[in-house]
Structure 1
Amino acid sequence: MDKLHQALRRHFGYSSFKKGQETIMKSVLEGRDTVAMLPTGGGKSLCYQLPGFLTDGTVLIVSPLLSLMEDQVQQLKMRGEKRTAAYNSVLTYQERDYILKQLHRLKFLYISPEALQSEQIIKRLQTIKVSLFVVDEAHCISQWGHDFRPDYSKLGEIKALLGNPPTLALTATATEATLKDISQMLGLAEASYFIYSVDRPNIALHIENLRDTAAKTERLIELVRKLQGPGLVYCPTRKWTEELAERLTEETRLRTGFYHGGMESGDRMLIQQQFIRNQLDAVCCTNAFGMGVDKPDVRYVIHFNLPQTAEAYMQEIGRAGRDGQQSISILLKAPGDEGIQEQLIQTEALSQHDIDFLYEKLADVKDERALRDILQQSGLSETQARHFVHLYLKVHHLGDDGRELIYREMDSRKHLKLKKMAGFASITESEGCFRRGLLAYFNEELKPRKNSGAACCTYCGLDLDAYETKGDRPFMNELTAWEEELDAIFAAGRDRLC
């Protein structure tokens, strides 16, 4: 047994690697910059955690979601690795200060791209050895990605300030253009690429066309009542998550929660933990839910509306079947669905009048945080504010020319989103194999399916009965009082700093 397999068994109790993991780790351990794409559920976190145990110094992991960071930290703690922490907005000033003072003792530090902009943090990181710089969900760094985060675009500069440590960029869904953008933005001129299929053969892909939204709602109720759970229902808006969760609770008598970005962080953490602990049969959620949920036995993912992009769709259905068991993705469609997503995209974009107004309002403000606060007070969402400030700081010195550049950039991004949305809609409308069309979008060909028992998609003879509950539903754990749940969650957070 070689050193890598011995470490795998010793630290994680596994006897073998998933596809791609060993090759990626060997590249990392050889000190090479590495860009890797593994399907959702493919074990990306192990690709930096195991090398971290085999190298000196601190592994710095840039992660986009609080829930994702907290989940990874808790898992490492449960495996006995106490030298790990997440630096985020939930911590008190005293807790953040404690982490900074203990940096030299940490093996793994998770941090958001926004927190990493702090000059104080960068100066402290410059005093320690960063053995590996990890960018998780690396598609966020790219303007072509489906979840562009402006602060990700600064990671190349920060990496240079830290002495250009070996870098590992990880994603589950990226087109060729996105992968090129990731490498360019991070300054990975000689990176090794390990690109594996986005396909999840154990997830059957089903599409249903219904006459209207009311019919979709009735069909959703029927499906949740019949399907073997637990499951996720992705909704286009925050309002829909709450309304559908209420309908499902009333009409199926199953325990259903809702989750969206407008909830308090404690409430979001509560729903997430209840779902992970088998205290909820289903969660109605926006795309804010998923990345931090390490739950292997999700049996179905239902989309109540057309997702905006093929990348987003593949990310979201990838929450199902992480244990390798047969699971199903169901997309409910009705006339007008594209209009809902188009309206969301148009609403997110700013008009030229909006940009003129905001440009004048920010004229005498220099501090980045103050800029964001002003924009959010003016009615912009956090995402809109971050994107506007990202552009404004690059071009405001150009005066009116800078204003015009912002307008062109935002208009271009809007049209890119509309184009991606139309492209995914076209894939769902094809009468051929749905899986084949999805893979073609990622420049992949559908390979012969070795497991004859695994269903493909609606157009390849999918039988929904195979995914329905047979006999009694699986036992769900008791739903404890929310005060007890939150206390347990935050107690775990406090233990993290001990």
Structure 2
Amino acid sequence: MTELHKALYRNFGLHSFKKGQEEIITSVLQKKDTIAMLPTGGGKSLCYQLPGYIMDGLVLIISPLLSLMEDQVQQLKAKGEKRVAALNSMLNSDERHFVLSNISRYKFLYMSPEALSSPYVLNRLKNVPVSLFVIDEAHCISEWGHDFRPDYSKLGPFRQALGKPPVLALTATATKETLRDVTDVLGLEHAVRHLYSVNRPNILLAIEHVADNAEKISRVTELAEKLEGPGIVYCPTRKWAEELAAELNEKTGKRTDYYHGGMDTGDRILIQQQFIHNQLDCICCTNAFGMGVDKSDIRFVIHFYPPQTAEAFMQEIGRAGRDGSPSVSILLRAPGDTELQQQIIQTESLSDYDLEGILAVIRDAGTSDERKLRDVLISKGVQETQARTAIHLYLQGKTNKEQLQEELTCRVEKKLHKMNRFSALLERKECIREALLAYFDESYEPEGPTGQCCSSCGMDLTPYEQKGERKNMERFEDWKLELDRIFGLESAGEFS
């Protein structure tokens, strides 16, 4: 047994690595800047957690979602690790002060890129040795990625300010263009790349064509009732998520709820925890649901509408079958689907009149603080995505209406291009899996029976249907205590 395997067993009780983990961890321990792409469920968190126990200093993890941070923190705490915290909006001022005042006592610290942009936070971090700078969901760096976050574009300078610690950039899906953006933004001149297939051979890929939304609703109801759960139904809008959840609760025996970005933080985390702990059989949600879900036994993912991009599709179907057991992805298509996604993308466009108003608000605000500017614009009725993008471009030097309009038009056209590529991919009569992998510049070599590859190759849903009685659901005896645990209200500063 190697020393690395001994450390794996000592810290996590595991005897072997998943595919790619050992190579990535070895690169990190050699203090090489590393870009790693592992499929969803491939064990990305171990790639920085194990090195964290071996290396001296703080492991700083940049994460895009509050729920994802909280989930990772709770997992480490459940293993007995007390030197971990998430610096986010769920901490009150006293808890936040405690974490920053005792920052040298932590081994793992999670935060968003927005939190890192605080000069006070950055200065506190400069006082401790950062052994590893981790960017989780690194595709968010790319301006053309499917989940662009402007604050991710500042991570290169932040890293420089912290003494240029080694970088580990992690993602589950990325095209060559996205990987190039990650390299450029972080300033990784000689990064080692460990890129593994996005393919999930244990997930059957099915596309079903229906006449209209009414037939979609009927088919989702039928599938949710028949298929072995738990499962996820992805919806294009918040309204659809709520309506489908109500429909499934009324027409099936499955306990269903909805989840989207318009809900209160506490409600979202509660629903997520109910799903993780088997209090719910099915979640109807927008793409806001997923990255923070540590649940290995999700058996089906249904798309009520096609996502906008192949990257988003691979991320979302990757929620299923993380335990390696057979699972199924079913995408429903009907005439008019493409037009709805086009309309959603077009909402990011702004008229000259709207742009003039946004520019006037930014100029009159008297601040360059992005968070304050965003809050002001949102209070004026500007959508959050539009506000983030406009502020990001303005602070990059695009300070007049013509420059902003040119950039926004370019972004919309780029998104429409990616959407049309994915739509064309779904129209193909050949193997769906082969077409998806080709999009990510991969070739496909079948690993199992071709009859359970995809709907184009022929398939049988019978093995994925529920057998016998539904398994008993676990119960929390006291939801108040559970929420206190989730929100970290027990104590933000207990060390022993």
User: TM-score category by the smaller chain?
Assistant: over 0.9
Percentage identity across aligned positions?
59
Picking from 449, 463, 469, the partner of 2:466 is: 469
2:177 aligned with 1:181, yes or no? no
Measured in 2, the distance between the counterparts of 1:370 and 1:279 equals 38
How far 1:486 moved relative to its partner? 2.6
Partner of 1:418: 416
For 2:363, what is the secondary structure of its paired residue? Answer: coil
Partner of 2:435: 437
How far 1:305 moved relative to its partner? 0.4
**Structure 2 letter corresponding to 1:321:** G
Partner of 2:490: 494
CA shift digits 1:121-171 (9 cap, x unpaired): 000000100000000100100112111100000000100000100000011
Name the CA shift for 1:349/1:208 in 2 (closer, same or farther; >3 Å): same
Measured in 2, the distance between the counterparts of 1:484 and 1:98 equals 22
Name the CA shift for 1:315/1:493 in 2 (closer, same or farther; >3 Å): farther
Partner of 1:407: 405
Map 1:209-358 → 2, pairs under 5 A: 209-358=209-358
How far 1:109 moved relative to its partner? 0.3
For 1:411, what is the secondary structure of its paired residue? Answer: helix
Kept in 1, the 8 Å contact 2:327–2:464? The answer is yes
For 1:406, what is the secondary structure of its paired residue? Answer: helix
**Structure 2 letter corresponding to 1:473:** R
Measured in 2, the distance between the counterparts of 1:53 and 1:230 equals 34
Q: Between 348-357 and 4-13, report the one with greater CA deviation.
A: 348-357
For 1:292, what is the secondary structure of its paired residue? Answer: coil
**Structure 2 letter corresponding to 1:131:** S
For 1:458, what is the secondary structure of its paired residue? Answer: coil
How far 1:349 moved relative to its partner? 2.5
**Structure 2 letter corresponding to 1:462:** M
Kept in 1, the 8 Å contact 2:98–2:492? The answer is no
Map 1:382-397 → 2, pairs under 5 A: 382-395=384-397
For 2:325, what is the secondary structure of its paired residue? Answer: coil
Picking from 369, 372, 391, the partner of 1:370 is: 372
Measured in 2, the distance between the counterparts of 1:116 and 1:191 equals 23
Kept in 2, the 8 Å contact 1:20–1:38? The answer is yes
Measured in 2, the distance between the counterparts of 1:457 and 1:358 equals 47
How far 1:479 moved relative to its partner? 6.8
**Structure 2 letter corresponding to 1:140:** C
2:129 aligned with 1:133, yes or no? no
**Structure 1 letter corresponding to 2:490:** R
Measured in 2, the distance between the counterparts of 1:466 and 1:268 equals 32
Measured in 2, the distance between the counterparts of 1:173 and 1:245 equals 29
What is the TM-score when the length of structure 2 is the normalising length?
Answer: 0.97
Measured in 1, the distance between the counterparts of 2:427 and 2:307 equals 14
Partner of 2:15: 15
Partner of 2:168: 168
2:452 aligned with 1:455, yes or no? yes
Partner of 2:104: 104
For 2:471, what is the secondary structure of its paired residue? Answer: coil
How far 1:382 moved relative to its partner? 2.6
Kept in 1, the 8 Å contact 2:99–2:492? The answer is no
Query: Can you give the 5+ residue segments of structure 1 that lack an aligned partner in the other structure?
Result: none
How far 1:454 moved relative to its partner? 7.7
Kept in 1, the 8 Å contact 2:305–2:331? The answer is yes
How far 1:191 moved relative to its partner? 0.4
CA shift digits 1:5-51 (9 cap, x unpaired): 00111111111001000000000000100011011110001000000
Kept in 2, the 8 Å contact 1:84–1:496? The answer is no
Measured in 1, the distance between the counterparts of 2:49 and 2:108 equals 8
Measured in 2, the distance between the counterparts of 1:387 and 1:21 equals 35
Kept in 1, the 8 Å contact 2:113–2:151? The answer is yes
Measured in 2, the distance between the counterparts of 1:155 and 1:110 equals 14
How far 1:496 moved relative to its partner? 4.8
How far 1:223 moved relative to its partner? 0.3
Name the CA shift for 1:220/1:4 in 2 (closer, same or farther; >3 Å): same
Kept in 2, the 8 Å contact 1:41–1:319? The answer is yes
Name the CA shift for 1:31/1:484 in 2 (closer, same or farther; >3 Å): closer
Measured in 1, the distance between the counterparts of 2:477 and 2:386 equals 37
Measured in 2, the distance between the counterparts of 1:488 and 1:146 equals 32
For 1:232, what is the secondary structure of its paired residue? Answer: strand
Picking from 444, 447, 466, the partner of 1:446 is: 444
For 2:73, what is the secondary structure of its paired residue? Answer: helix
**Structure 1 letter corresponding to 2:212:** D
Kept in 1, the 8 Å contact 2:279–2:474? The answer is yes
For 1:395, what is the secondary structure of its paired residue? Answer: coil
Name the CA shift for 1:414/1:21 in 2 (closer, same or farther; >3 Å): same
**Structure 1 letter corresponding to 2:125:** L
User: What is the CA RMSD across the aligned residues, in angstroms?
Assistant: 1.4
CA shift digits 1:324-345 (9 cap, x unpaired): 0000000011111111111111
Measured in 2, the distance between the counterparts of 1:488 and 1:136 equals 24
How far 1:289 moved relative to its partner? 0.5
Kept in 2, the 8 Å contact 1:201–1:454? The answer is no
**Structure 1 letter corresponding to 2:368:** D
Q: Between 76-85 and 346-355, report the one with greater CA deviation.
A: 346-355
Kept in 2, the 8 Å contact 1:261–1:288? The answer is yes
Measured in 2, the distance between the counterparts of 1:361 and 1:495 equals 40
Kept in 2, the 8 Å contact 1:202–1:454? The answer is no
Measured in 1, the distance between the counterparts of 2:492 and 2:432 equals 44
Kept in 1, the 8 Å contact 2:37–2:170? The answer is yes
Measured in 1, the distance between the counterparts of 2:489 and 2:34 equals 31
How far 1:65 moved relative to its partner? 0.3
Kept in 1, the 8 Å contact 2:450–2:457? The answer is no
